[in-house]
Amino acid sequence: MIIYNITVNVSLELVDEWLKWMKDTHIPNVMKTNIFISANINRVISKSDTGITYAIAYKCQTLKDLQRYEITFARKIRDEYNLKYAQSAPTFRTIMEILDEF
């Protein structure tokens, strides 16, 4: 199982707008690709003067599935995100493989 994690630091003045857009538009658009089997949005608990940090975790079956997402869908979805939030909510991505669950 693969977790595709996007970490985002959202400026304080945009948190409510950003969360609404993520829940109503962005995450549903990613899930419509039928690549991921689940998604969750998490708030990173830390003290930051620059905003609030979130981690959006998408889960898919294989690395091949994630590669298909990257090739087929990611550019359009990222472009939509960057038009709205590239400056006020920058992102970085991490890919993890679940080795075991307890």
Q: Looking at residues 18-35, what average pLDDT do you find?
A: 98
| CATH placement of domain 2-96 | 3.30.70.100
Kindly tell me the burial class for residue 41, based on how many C-beta atoms sit within 10 Å of its own C-beta (0-12, 13-18, 19 or more): middle
Stretch 79-99: mean pLDDT, rounded?
A: 94
- What's the whole-number average pLDDT of the chain? 95
91-to-8, 45, 54, 62, 64 alpha-carbon distances in Å: 4, 17, 9, 23, 23
Domain ranges of the chain: 2-96
Give the contacts of 61 (CB within 8 A, at least 6 positions apart).
1, 2, 37
- DSSP labels, 32-73: TTS--SEEEEEE-----SS-EEEEEEEEES-HHHHHHHIIII
For residue 47, pLDDT over 80 is answered with: no
